[in-house]
């Protein structure tokens, strides 16, 4: 189908006003779900529901953007609720799926994209925040994203999650308390980048003592393998044990290559095999002394699809 013909069909079916917000829907779904693939599915389902509306029903929608965001919120709430049971059977540690730079612009951009969505899409979702979001109940997470990221009123959110406005206000307060209690020290992007560079240079040498020197003594190493590849089955604590676990990678994969990459908008590392495929994506937390105190490693191939 030609581009002109495609646009004509889009206009007749009422898709164009809604498709302009695809990037925003993907970004918000990712915040709610912590999974790029699930965000794609949630966004797709929202558009399916939009197309199921009659022409008259679509004409009555004052704001396709608000309508789609509310529908995505309901879809994500359902997906989060069903995902909790699956995660109880998950092998090893669970981490959110890391997002590479430009994931929304490469997968969600359209000529009709609404400029008003750009700031909200561009706001990076740090791995630290996503990890905190994983500790919330499904309702807390959806309420937090809709209220704090999108400034939905509690009355509007109540219609999404099926709770009273007062209950939604309480959920938001509970979610915000979780983020505040887990808030990390403010460190500049430059300081984090320098720390990650030092970490990568030390890791490449396989020198445990050199790697220990750039880590916080109480550093935690969290590896998500999904039980599909080799990885520690639980969190590793302490600089020496973490350094030994990381350096053992070079014994098993002597041809591994390390690249500094943006992971969820922050400096991170991609480890690639000889064939260029992604073996791991690493993101970091840093303390006020500029020492790395949390290392999140994604090894599950199913969560590295967007990195290949």
Q: For 147-204, how does the pLDDT look when each residue is reduced to its tens digit (9 = 90+)?
A: 988 889 999 999 999 999 999 999 999 999 988 877 766 677 888 899 999 999 999 9
Order across the sheet with 292-298: list the strands.
236-237, 215-224, 292-298, 278-286, 266-272, 257-263
pLDDT at position 189: 81
- The contacts found for 240-249 with CB under 8 angstroms, 24 or more apart, are 240/208, 240/212, 242/215, 242/295, 243/208, 243/209, 243/211, 243/212, 243/215, 244/208, 245/221, 246/203, 246/211, 246/221, 246/295, 247/203, 247/206, 247/207, 247/208, 247/211, 249/280
How far apart (Å, rounded) are the C-alpha atoms in residues 103 and 90? 26
pLDDT at position 16: 62
Average pLDDT over residues 252-279: 94
The tens digit of pLDDT for each residue in 193-252 reads: 999 999 999 999 999 999 999 999 999 999 999 999 989 989 999 999 999 999 999 999
Instruction: Mention the CATH class of domain 189-307.
Output: alpha beta
**Which residue would you say has higher pLDDT here, 8 or 153?**
153
Question: What is the Cβ-side half-sphere exposure of residue 111, based on CA atoms within 13 angstroms?
Answer: 6
How far apart (Å, rounded) are the C-alpha atoms in residues 90 and 78? 19
For residue 136, is pLDDT > 60?
yes
Sequence ranges of the chain with CATH classification 3.10.450.50: 189-307
């Amino acid at each position: 189908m030609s581009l002109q013909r495609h646009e004509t069909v889009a206009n007749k079916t009422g898709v164009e006003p809604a498709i302009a917000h695809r990037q925003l829907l993907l970004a918000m779904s990712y915040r709610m779900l912590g999974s790029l693939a699930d965000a794609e599915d949630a966004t797709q389902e929202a558009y399916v529901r939009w197309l199921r509306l009659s022409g008259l029903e679509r004409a009555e929608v004052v704001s396709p953007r608000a309508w789609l965001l509310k529908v995505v919120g309901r879809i994500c709430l359902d997906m989060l609720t069903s995902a909790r049971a699956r995660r109880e059977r998950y092998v090893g540690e669970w981490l959110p799926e890391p997002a590479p730079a430009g994931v929304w612009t490469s997968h969600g951009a359209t000529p009709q994209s609404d400029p008003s969505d750009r700031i909200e899409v561009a706001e990076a979702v740090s791995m630290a925040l996503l990890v905190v979001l994983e500790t919330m109940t499904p309702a807390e997470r959806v309420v937090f994203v809709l209220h704090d990221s999108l400034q939905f009123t509690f009355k509007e959110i109540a219609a999404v999650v099926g709770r009273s406005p007062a209950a939604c206000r309480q959920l938001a307060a509970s979610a915000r308390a979780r983020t505040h209690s887990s808030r990390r020290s403010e460190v500049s992007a430059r300081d984090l980048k320098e720390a990650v560079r030092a970490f990568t240079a030390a890791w490449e040498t396989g020198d445990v003592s050199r790697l220990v020197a750039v880590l916080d003594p109480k550093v935690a190493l969290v590896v998500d393998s999904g039980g599909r590849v080799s990885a520690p089955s639980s969190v590793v604590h302490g600089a020496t044990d973490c350094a030994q676990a990381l350096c053992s990678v070079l014994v098993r994969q002597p041809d591994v290559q390390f690249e500094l990459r943006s992971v969820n908008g922050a400096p991170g590392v991609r480890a690639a095999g000889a064939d260029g495929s992604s073996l791991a994506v690493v993101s970091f937390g840093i303390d006020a002394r500029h020492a790395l105190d949390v290392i999140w490693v994604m090894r599950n191939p199913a969560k590295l699809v967007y990195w290949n």
